[in-house]
Amino acid sequence: MARAETSRQAYSIDAVNEFDPLFEEVYDYCDKMELNVDTLIHEIGAGQMEINFFHAHPLGLADEVFFFKRTMREVALRHDMFATFMAKPVAGEPGSAMHIHQSIVNKATGRNLFSTEDGQPSQEFLWYIGGLQKYIPAAMALFAPYVNSYRRLVRFAAAPINIQWGTDNRTVGIRSPVAPPSARRVENRVIGADANPYVALAATLACGYLGIKNQIQPSPECKGDAYLGDYQLPRSLGEALELLRRERDLAKVLGEAFVTVYTEVKETEYAEFMKVISPWEREHLLLHV
């Protein structure tokens, strides 16, 4: 019951009403906890919900996501349901993401630095995108932290497989939504619903910061179907961990000790997973190889 990386769809009232008691109770709890929830709607997947939060300071927003996930699980149990934030809980259904919209404002003036004074995209906007493109592959172990996370990131499954960018293009990993200059922002569509919100927010901001700091120019804007291109993201947790270990720029921003401990813990977890022989392997390999 997490947000998926798909456009909103139209559903009949009857289809949504079966979740009304759940929705109403979630809204009530969010109101009591002063969580700034914008919308909670049905998504394209079976039993899949989308939750949107209002724009806020990243640390406060991470707090809200953390508390909301605990609230959602508790309310679901009270309605004889289970809420999951796995990236790909059901085969053949859309996976669930944690899309992060990000912008930078001048502390003194409050002006959005992603737009020039005449309303055009700024150089900082382009550099920020360039940083995301350069460093997202190395940050994938933070954005997609479990072996299941990578089952979501496959071609034509409503999830990005690339680090291309485009304006209102939902086939790319980095999207610039249509918005007025004051609200110009960048959406990181790569991050899974299973990611730690504190880590994910810190990591995506670090990627953009490095882009501005190092004045990294982005690739040309993708105006077509990015699914027709090559995979540009790690295909497994093991590959992602290796990329994270090698990326020194990110480690300097996020903390050398943090990256070391994180990768060691995740390596142990991945090693445990590799000891498990799946039903698919027995079905397709046991008597055929």
What confidence tens digit (pLDDT) does each residue in 44-60 have?
888 888 999 999 999 99
Q: Where in the chain is the domain with CATH 3.30.590.10?
A: 97-285
Q: Residue 255 has which token pair?
A: 């903390």
**3-state helix, strand and coil shares in percent for the chain, rounded to the nearest 5:** 45, 10, 45
The reported pTM is 0.91
Going through the chain in order, the beta strands assigned E by DSSP cover 37-42, 49-53, 100-102, 165-167, 174-176, 186-188
**For the chain, how big is the Rg over CA atoms in Å?**
20
What percent of the chain lies above the pLDDT cut of 70? 94
Q: What are the residues whose beta carbons fall under 8 Å from the beta carbon of 234, sequence distance 6 or more?
A: 137, 140, 141, 144, 150, 240, 243
pLDDT at 45: 80
Q: Sign of dihedral through CA atoms 129, 85, 279, 156? A: negative
Class of domain 97-285: alpha beta
pLDDT in tens, 206-231: 999 999 999 999 999 999 999 999 99
- As a whole number, mean pLDDT of residues 153-157 equals 91
pLDDT at 17: 65
- As a whole number, mean pLDDT of residues 105-117 equals 95
Is residue 3 scored above 60 in pLDDT?
A: no
CA–CA separation, 1 and 193 (whole Å): 9
pLDDT in tens, 164-201: 999 999 999 999 999 999 999 999 999 999 999 999 99
pLDDT at 10: 35
pLDDT at 40: 82
One-letter amino acid of 11:
Y
What percent of the chain lies above the pLDDT cut of 90? 84
